[in-house]
Structure 1
Amino acid sequence: MTRRRPPRSASAEELLTTLQRLTARARQEVQLHQARVELAEALQREMLPATLPALPGLQTAARYLPARSGLDIGGDWYDGFPLPDGTLAFAIGDVQGHDVEATAFMGQIRFGMRAVAATTADPGEIMDRTNDLLLSVDSALFATCTFVRLDPRSWELDTARAGHVPAVWATVDGQSGITDDVGGLPLGIQGGRTYPVTRRRLTTPGAFVLLTDGVVEGPSFPIEEGLDAVERLVASRASAGAEELADAVLQAAERTGHEDDAAVLVLRHDASPCGT
């Protein structure tokens, strides 16, 4: 009968060599991942607008916060720009996925939406055409979005929603709420969809706050609870400036233990009943 020799124990030098090789490989993977994160951060900064439109009686402010881990970057976005008819457009959205691919898709949505809005001011039609545009690029990603058209002369606010988290509003006389607008599917999922438009007239000074689910939802923090908390916060600071209110709302995201990035867009207005 042939005896098998017991396996030879690795020497300390061999173990050290193996450990060094594995450490070098892990370091390379970390550096590659970190490079992708830094690229996503740079793209995020470049693609988000440097300024937002504001007029007498209207203050605007926006904030963006990466995920708590610092690794999930690139999904959330916001925008604001004037429309050809003299009204103002504001949008906020959340791309499924993160990293460089999500950031690039976010840029396609933002710039595509601006191009569509140059030919029509109707939020529902803008959503519809943007959806078809995104489907034409054949991406595996999709995005939720809310688009708002504000007429600063009449204080009429038209909104269309594509699978996005509701907005929060409050007035200086103590009224507040969470919007319950009818919406459509997220953008980039299915063609031929329609997006209903909800029209409301602002008649009392206050704030209209758009946000992403990273502000109000966490691993053990239900979105309904988060929205209620933000509503109370906005109601208590409805007379505050847009910048102060945006900072306060974004801080609410820290209480959710959020694992997603977060964005806030605040419209602080001095609307009056007669639209003057």
Structure 2
Amino acid sequence: MRLRSELGRIDDQLRDLLSAMDRLQGLLDAVVAISREVELPAVLHRIVTTAMDLVGARYGALGVLSESGERLTQFISAGLSEQERNDLANVGLPRGRGVLGHLIRHPEPLRVDDIPAHPSSTGFPPGHPCMQTLLGVAITVRGEIYGDLYLSERRDGHPFDVHDENVVLALASAAGIAIENVRLFERVRAGGEQFQRLLLPTLPDLRPFTAAAIYRPAAEPSQLGGDWYDAILLPDDVVAVVIGDVVGHDLHAAAAMASTRNMLRALLFDQKNPPGAVLAQLDRILQAITDNPVTTTALARIEPDGPGWQLRWSTAGHVPPLLITRERGAEFLLAEPGLPLGVDTEQARPDHSRFLPPSATVVFFTDGLIEHPDHPIDESLAELARLAAAHASLPLPKFVQALADHHPSDGHDDMAILALRAPHG
């Protein structure tokens, strides 16, 4: 009998040990999952759902406190059914009263086996699911209370125990670090995007033409990009337009973009060479005095020509411009693209030309507008042409906005668009 009792005790200890190992592994997996998120809303939601998984809770929420720490400014919840969410749609944020308010005022871990019987309980709003048990812990960031994590109703029907409390406390510690990291990342990214936009010019008055440009960073968080555009009014009523993309997404790419753009501006002001010759000279200069990455670009000169204008352009491995006219609709100016800058300075750079009738619109863009890993490039170009034709009657700022909003790419890369529209004639 004593042997059986001892074996039973050992068996229970092994089960407890295995359970503890499972909880530890689950906690480690949760911490890794949270740390992978780089957007604050995703981090907060992941904290809630991973906490629910760790303790087997049916419901979970995270209340983010205001700077004063007296009220909630966000309430991220999980576990509610669609019907329950609809029933609570008009209730608004919890006001930090009742048991939730108790945790705000007293940020020690809180376990409640009977919510309605708790001294601080004030009941639930209409449509709120019935909840009996609660586990709440505070989340701190840099020593300040950031918010409170709430869990309710274990799926096995048991109240939360001390093991649940300990594992959620450990998760809350990791959550505080993840929140601080992502907030730092967002500040760095916002500063990087601001720096990127400061490098891009404000388009000058190009009358009689109208012009509009837009830059969009990649949808996925990234560092600085190398997309840029420029437009310059030259003597003799000539307009020069350029768009380009430096390979890379870092400070080096942004710096290379700035140096390339400034050198190109100087070359355009200094001489009246055709675009191909200007790009060839730019390539030689860059190779001689910089270590800039490979760069694609398209350079165009628009010159008066009788009742309209002559578009002369050359590209260095860049996507072709898009021309929109009343007579022919939207068409890409397909021609010999040339090599990107930084590949081979000895290769000739061909020039191309096309007459622009009154009211014609020329669209220059970077490949971030059309690249999609699941779609062939020809399919994306055709979709962009349809999109441009459908919005061609819009004022130019709204036109480029429409292209940026409804682009056929997957948004993984930066994009820049510059459109120039000839007057009516």
TM-score by length of 2: 0.55
Question: Is it true that 1:129 corresponds to 2:244 in the alignment?
Answer: no
Residue 256 of structure 1 aligns with an amino acid whose one-letter code is: S
Q: Within 2, Cα distance between the matches of 1:164 and 1:236?
A: 24
Question: Is it true that 1:169 corresponds to 2:323 in the alignment?
Answer: yes
Question: Is it true that 1:62 corresponds to 2:213 in the alignment?
Answer: yes
Q: Within 1, Cα distance between the matches of 2:230 and 2:371?
A: 22
Q: Within 1, Cα distance between the matches of 2:180 and 2:387?
A: 45
Q: Within 2, Cα distance between the matches of 1:161 and 1:203?
A: 22
Give the stretch that moved more between structures: 118-127 or 105-114.
Answer: 118-127
Displacement of 1:271 in angstroms is 5.9
1:118 pairs with 269, 290, 293, which one? 269
Counterpart of 1:8?
Answer: none
Residue 131 of structure 1 aligns with an amino acid whose one-letter code is: D
Consecutive unaligned residues of structure 2, counting only runs of 5 or more, are 1-165
Displacement of 1:32 in angstroms is 7.2
Q: Within 2, Cα distance between the matches of 1:140 and 1:32?
A: 29
Residue 110 of structure 1 aligns with an amino acid whose one-letter code is: R
2:392 pairs with 238, 257, 260, which one? 238
Deviations 1:150-170 (A, max 9, x none): 114641110010000111111
Counterpart of 1:261?
Answer: 414
2:375 pairs with 209, 218, 221, which one? 221
Residue 336 of structure 2 aligns with an amino acid whose one-letter code is: V
Question: Is it true that 1:77 corresponds to 2:228 in the alignment?
Answer: yes
| Structure 1 contact 36–100 (Cα < 8 Å) conserved | no
Distance verdict in 2 for CA 1:27–1:212, change over 3 Å: same
Counterpart of 1:106?
Answer: 257
| Structure 1 contact 206–239 (Cα < 8 Å) conserved | no
1:148-167 equivalences in 2 (<5 Å): 148-152=300-304, 154=306, 155-167=309-321
Distance verdict in 2 for CA 1:102–1:89, change over 3 Å: same
Work out which structure has the larger RCO, using CA pairs closer than 8 Å and 6 or more positions apart in sequence.
1
Q: Within 1, Cα distance between the matches of 2:340 and 2:179?
A: 38
Distance verdict in 2 for CA 1:52–1:249, change over 3 Å: farther
| Structure 2 contact 286–292 (Cα < 8 Å) conserved | no
SS of residue in 2 equivalent to 1:74:
coil
Q: Within 2, Cα distance between the matches of 1:172 and 1:119?
A: 35
Consecutive unaligned residues of structure 1, counting only runs of 5 or more, are 1-12
Deviations 1:189-238 (A, max 9, x none): 22223211101111242211111111111222322111111111222333
Q: Within 1, Cα distance between the matches of 2:360 and 2:394?
A: 9
Give the stretch that moved more between structures: 151-160 or 123-132.
Answer: 151-160
Report the count of equivalent residues: 262
Give the stretch that moved more between structures: 256-265 or 40-49.
Answer: 40-49
Task: Give RMSD over aligned pairs.
Answer: 3.0
Counterpart of 1:250?
Answer: 404
Distance verdict in 2 for CA 1:27–1:229, change over 3 Å: same
1:42 pairs with 191, 194, 208, which one? 194
Q: Within 2, Cα distance between the matches of 1:169 and 1:230?
A: 12
Q: Within 1, Cα distance between the matches of 2:377 and 2:224?
A: 21
**Of the two, which has the highest radius of gyration?**
2
Q: Within 1, Cα distance between the matches of 2:286 and 2:382?
A: 33
Distance verdict in 2 for CA 1:139–1:33, change over 3 Å: farther
Deviations 1:89-144 (A, max 9, x none): 11001110012111111001100100111222321111011111211234151110
